């Protein structure tokens, strides 16, 4: 590559990373921590309904659900929708319901046309809810006992209709740890969750582990119907909340909310494949564009800093240093060593591998296969949000 081209690429890269650093650091510091919110007083707590979709979740459902049922919050109802499970999930849920007045189980045996299984299950569960607020969470999410009381206090104090909380992701291998931290960083750059509270900003946020909504706002959206065929339903729920003019916010919830995202790296790849192509609206042009950008700005600087000289090397060094600082912030949130930042180029390549594999497999299969159901690509593409 000509030296002049390298210099301008280094300049653009350094300026871009410096700008991202100046956005992410103050943005991240501005986020409220859910642990610092005083729980709502018991006598003023409004009715709250927790809605969980569960399909073949026998590995984690009992621990996660027990943490929800143990919440120091009343009045509380927990609605779990058993979405056509083929393992012991349904039996576990029925057993737990027999010993807890808080828990109701809805068994779904068929999936209507035009719906993803999880989205339909959440829609069905929400229709059964009687609470003033709805919490959508996943079947493998563990909550600290005061989580709901703190979250409700926050939404009332700040008069927001939708609150998303970022969880701590439990990771069992080095490769998972370094990837999840890098993924968190990419997510923060893409969605800028600290801007979600600004009604003038198009920034929006939604977290599958913790989406708390005022029930009236959710009903006004038409439930999950507008995002019926979106594999990325959590972030798209946040988008339609913002689009309809409701107030939204995001808090750091790592001490209150935790989730074992995936147990193995293979599970992670298979799990993210359902969203990999959806994240670029099933457009190969965006896959190619993202690939070029990732290689130029996330991988190449780490090579260039060793093979260039002078001002060009210095600028690439600035980009690498800025990456380290941003990675360190995400690593602290996930309780991971910031030194893993040296793996950033590798995790960028893994991310590209997942996106490309998702795109090619989706095109080859004319859709996605998720939890035992095939969803045609034409229907997925038609649900643009």
Kindly report the number of other CB atoms within 10 A of residue 199's CB atom: 10
The answer to whether residue 93 scores a pLDDT higher than 90 is yes
Cα separation, 173 vs 191, in Å, equals 27
- Distance (Å) of CA 245 to CA 112, 152, 154, 192: 29, 20, 19, 18
The answer to whether position 79 is within a domain reads: yes
User: Are residues 92 and 161 both part of a single domain?
Assistant: yes
Q: Determine the pLDDT at residue 85.
A: 96
Strand partners, 170: 260
The answer to whether residue 360 scores a pLDDT higher than 90 is yes
User: Are residues 84 and 158 both part of a single domain?
Assistant: yes
User: Are residues 296 and 281 both part of a single domain?
Assistant: yes
Percent of the chain with pLDDT over 70: 100
The answer to whether residue 1 scores a pLDDT higher than 80 is no
The answer to whether position 180 is within a domain reads: no
User: Are residues 17 and 93 both part of a single domain?
Assistant: no
Q: What is the mean pLDDT of the chain?
A: 94
For the segment 92-112, the average pLDDT, to the nearest whole number, is 96
Q: Determine the pLDDT at residue 107.
A: 97
Among 262, 278, 295, residue at a domain's last position: 262
User: Are residues 52 and 148 both part of a single domain?
Assistant: yes
In 3D, which of 202, 159, 209, 201 has the Cα closest to residue 184? 209
The answer to whether position 186 is within a domain reads: no
Which band of pLDDT confidence, cut at 50, 70 and 90, is reported for residue 58? Answer: very high
Angle, vertex CA 236, rays to CA 148 and CA 181, nearest 5: 70
User: Are residues 107 and 37 both part of a single domain?
Assistant: yes
For the segment 173-200, the average pLDDT, to the nearest whole number, is 90
Q: Provide the 3-class DSSP secondary structure of residue 138.
A: strand
User: Are residues 97 and 112 both part of a single domain?
Assistant: yes
The answer to whether position 37 is within a domain reads: yes
Do the Cβ atoms of 237 and 211 come closer than 8 Å? yes
Q: Determine the pLDDT at residue 329.
A: 83
Tokens of 265: 């790296």
Among 262, 281, 297, residue at a domain's last position: 262
What's the CATH code of the domain at 73?
A: 3.90.550.10
Percent of the chain with pLDDT over 90: 80
Tokens 């709250």 belong to which residue? 48
Which band of pLDDT confidence, cut at 50, 70 and 90, is reported for residue 266? Answer: confident
The answer to whether position 179 is within a domain reads: no
The answer to whether position 172 is within a domain reads: no
Q: Determine the pLDDT at residue 176.
A: 87
User: Are residues 89 and 13 both part of a single domain?
Assistant: no
The answer to whether position 256 is within a domain reads: yes
The answer to whether residue 320 scores a pLDDT higher than 90 is yes
Among 216, 231, 262, residue at a domain's last position: 262
- Lowest mean pLDDT across 25-29, 31-35, 184-188, 261-265: 261-265
Which band of pLDDT confidence, cut at 50, 70 and 90, is reported for residue 39? Answer: very high
| Domains in the chain, number | 2
The answer to whether residue 190 scores a pLDDT higher than 80 is yes
User: Are residues 23 and 35 both part of a single domain?
Assistant: no
Q: What is the pLDDT of residues 126-160, one digit of tens each?
A: 999 999 999 999 999 999 999 999 999 999 999 99
Cα separation, 358 vs 282, in Å, equals 10
Domain that holds residue 158: 31-167+207-262
Q: Determine the pLDDT at residue 336.
A: 83
- Distance (Å) of CA 318 to CA 95, 183, 295, 341, 381: 57, 21, 17, 14, 40
The answer to whether position 302 is within a domain reads: yes
User: Are residues 17 and 102 both part of a single domain?
Assistant: no
User: Are residues 244 and 342 both part of a single domain?
Assistant: no
User: Are residues 115 and 227 both part of a single domain?
Assistant: yes
- Lowest mean pLDDT across 187-196, 260-269, 310-319: 260-269
Length of the chain equals 385
Tokens 């959440």 belong to which residue? 122
Cα separation, 243 vs 232, in Å, equals 16
């Amino acid at each position: 590559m000509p030296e002049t081209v390298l210099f301008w690429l280094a300049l653009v890269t350094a300026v871009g990373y410096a700008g991202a650093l100046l956005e992410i650091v103050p943005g991240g510091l501005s986020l409220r921590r859910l642990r610092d919110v005083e729980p709502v007083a018991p006598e003023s707590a409004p009715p709250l309904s927790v809605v969980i979709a569960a399909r073949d979740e026998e590995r984690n459902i009992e621990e996660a659900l027990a943490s929800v049922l143990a919440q120091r919050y009343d009045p509380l109802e927990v609605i779990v929708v058993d979405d056509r499970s083929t393992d012991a999930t349904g039996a576990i849920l029925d057993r737990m319901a027999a010993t807890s007045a808080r828990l109701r189980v809805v068994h779904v045996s068929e999936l209507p046309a035009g719906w993803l299984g999880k989205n339909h299950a959440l829609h069905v569960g929400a229709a059964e809810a009687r609470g003033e607020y709805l919490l959508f969470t996943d079947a493998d999410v563990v909550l600290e006992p005061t989580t709901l009381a703190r979250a409700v206090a926050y939404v009332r104090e700040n008069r927001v209709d939708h609150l998303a909380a970022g969880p701590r992701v439990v990771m069992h291998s080095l490769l998972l740890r370094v990837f999840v931290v890098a993924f968190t960083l990419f997510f923060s750059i893409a969605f800028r969750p600290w801007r979600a509270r600004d009604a003038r900003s198009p920034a929006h946020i939604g977290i599958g582990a913790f989406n708390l909504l005022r029930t009236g706002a959710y009903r006004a959206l038409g439930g999950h119907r507008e995002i019926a065929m979106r594999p990325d339903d959590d972030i798209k729920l946040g988008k339609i909340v913002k689009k309809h003019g409701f107030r939204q916010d995001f808090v750091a919830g790592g001490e209150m909310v935790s989730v074992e995202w995936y147990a193995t790296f293979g599970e992670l790849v298979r799990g993210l494949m359902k969203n990999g192509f959806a994240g670029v609206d099933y457009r190969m042009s965006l896959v190619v564009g993202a690939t070029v950008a990732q290689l130029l700005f996330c991988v190449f600087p780490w090579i260039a800093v060793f093979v260039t000289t002078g001002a060009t090397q210095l600028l690439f060094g600035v980009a690498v240093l800025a990456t380290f600082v941003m990675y360190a912030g995400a690593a602290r949130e996930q309780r991971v060593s910031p030194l893993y930042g040296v793996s950033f180029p590798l995790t960028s390549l893994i991310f590209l591998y997942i996106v490309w594999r998702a795109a090619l497999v989706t095109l080859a299969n004319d859709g996605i296969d998720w939890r035992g159901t095939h969803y045609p690509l034409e229907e997925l593409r038609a649900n643009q949000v």
